[in-house]
Amino acid sequence: MYEHHFQCPHCWETISMLVDPSVSTTYIEDCEVCCNPIEVSVTFQNGELLSFTASSIEQ
């Protein structure tokens, strides 16, 4: 697993998330600080992180 630190698009706190370097995917996960949903998109190539985006999901 790969730990990635980023800023929550809702509360702007720095949080971390564990991502699997063997899988490029998009999924929804709640912020560990404010509990709002975040759409996370992760792309890996040969085990290296190419892109990571965390987008706000309006409720």
pLDDT tens-digit series, residues 9-47: 999 999 999 999 998 999 999 999 999 999 999 999 998
DSSP 9: T
Radius of gyration of the chain (CA): 11
Put residue 33 in one of left, alpha, beta given phi > 0 → left and psi -120 to 50 → alpha. alpha
Q: Residue 59: what pLDDT?
A: 58
Q: Residue 9: what pLDDT?
A: 96
DSSP 47: T
